[in-house]
Structure 1
């Protein structure tokens, strides 16, 4: 059995990964908060200076999930440098030390933002697209990917890159949780006419399953994988499904997409409106064909699990 180091284990994706593992006897953890029961733990930041050698000793595979995450309203004076310090420089520092410790494989959970922000009027994003990040978070992830690939070619470290779109499930926060909460209140939301856009999502259960496959699958080495539930959904259908899993009426009203776009221009919120009315689709054909993998859970399952967290509050 491979010995694994997991970073970001206390976050949304990391905590679900830990919960899915059969045993933590061969798992080391790297993170700032109190660890779950594991083989070894190091309390440290992801940065360009920290020494991670104590938890890299005899490790076969690193699963690097920790990151400075994308936020809607970043107050940092220089957001790009803040993202680079963790997501690019910190990642490369960890990877170089992994090489020195004899690690065989480095799995990097990146972001679909490396591909871009929208596929409205375009083909779905694919794993062979030229990176086209549009914000500091995406840039920092793209730079990390490029440096990891170069390090792998130089040293023989197997690099596995996974780019998820929006990840949801029990414990999800931000816009997904906010929208589900609005639907639960039975409010008449203006989304019923938004039926022509398509968005790829991935439940945390499908993402965790893919990560587990990539830990040991021989064909995962030196590959870039896009991931989704393989069930793209419109905004109107998303709201309807949120209502269904919460046993609430779908009270959405049909406001034309053009009205949203006009409002977006007037309020200088075109990016927000595009997330509502536009498309972001990913093509996971390469992932499925290379690994023989299919998402084991339906999109409805993921929505039901996201609904469970609200019921417990």
Structure 2
């Protein structure tokens, strides 16, 4: 059985991954976290850090590790200054990632799994992104993820440590943050939303499906040196997504058929052009390569994934 190190173990993806690996019977987990607020299960080794960018020595955490799953990342800008924002992303998502990878090589880690972003390909498209498409990152976060991918490929190309890259689109699930988290809260309040006339197509991935793919990549021999796209394999418009979430919440949706052109104009006036793009434009991914190489398919449908967001009422937030 593999000895596994998970960074970002208290985060949205990392905490679910730890939960699922423990449920699958794994007893060789080392988790990296800034705190122990998640009360990790007995037997899980905690490597506590102040911040990933200020951890120069990983040797203790990496001792005896076979697989590193690098979920930790800076995902939100803390500054409106573009140059400063990009440099902050780079400090964590590029420099700290490569520092960890160098020490993983020195510690004879067998496989390094890097959780990247579909933003590496771009923020919208007219045909689904594939792994062979030329990268086109435009936002600071995505630029830093692409630079990390590039650095990891160069660093690990002649090493014994195998590299696996996963590029998820929007990841949704219980207690998700970001755009889906806002939608989740709005759906429960049954507020009128001007999202009733958006006919785009967007790929999403449930947290459960993403974690299932990560688990597959831990030991699958065909995952070596591969980049994988991932989704629920069921693309929907923003309007359809809002209805699915609202219906799953039991509240129903109040959607106003506001023209997309007006939404984009209004958003641009408010300095929210990027948000309008994500709401109104298409972003699809083609997971045929992932399915073929790994023999993998998402275990949950989109509808099942959405329904799981509302299964445990005690974890819902207002």
**TM-align CA RMSD:** 1.7
Describe how 1:18-57 pairs up with structure 2 within 5 A.
18-21=18-21, 22-34=24-36, 36-37=40-41, 38-44=43-49, 45-47=51-53, 50-57=56-63
Describe how 1:190-205 pairs up with structure 2 within 5 A.
190-194=194-198, 196-205=199-208
- Superposed displacement of residue 75, structure 1: 4.3
**What is the aligned counterpart of 2:72 among 66, 76, 79?**
66
C-alpha distance in 2 between matches for 1:230 and 1:174: 21
- Superposed displacement of residue 310, structure 1: 5.9
Answering whether residue 127 of structure 2 is matched by residue 123 of structure 1, we say yes
C-alpha distance in 2 between matches for 1:155 and 1:249: 53
- Superposed displacement of residue 249, structure 1: 2.6
C-alpha distance in 1 between matches for 2:211 and 2:19: 10
* SS of aligned partner of 1:29: strand
- Superposed displacement of residue 311, structure 1: 5.7
Bigger shift: residues 100-109 or 181-190: 181-190
Equivalent residues of 1:48, 1:85 under 8 A apart: no
C-alpha distance in 2 between matches for 1:269 and 1:55: 42
Find the counterpart in structure 1 of residue 92 from structure 2: 86
- Structure 1 outlier segments of 4+, above 6 Å: none
C-alpha distance in 2 between matches for 1:20 and 1:49: 27
* SS of aligned partner of 1:143: helix
Find the counterpart in structure 1 of residue 104 from structure 2: 98
Equivalent residues of 1:198, 1:235 under 8 A apart: yes
TM-score relative to the length of structure 1: 0.93
Equivalent residues of 2:108, 2:160 under 8 A apart: no
* Residue deviations 1:92-146 (CA, integer Å, cap 9, x gap): 1111101111101000001111111111xx2211111222111221111111101
* Residue deviations 1:213-238 (CA, integer Å, cap 9, x gap): 00000000000001111111101101
Describe how 1:297-308 pairs up with structure 2 within 5 A.
297-308=300-311
Find the counterpart in structure 2 of residue 136 from structure 1: 140
Stretches of structure 1 lacking an aligned partner (at least 5 in a row): none
**What is the aligned counterpart of 2:158 among 127, 137, 154?**
154
* SS of aligned partner of 1:2: coil
TM-score relative to the length of structure 2: 0.92
Residues 41/185 of structure 1: CA separation in 2 closer, same or farther (3 Å cut):
closer
C-alpha distance in 1 between matches for 2:253 and 2:270: 28
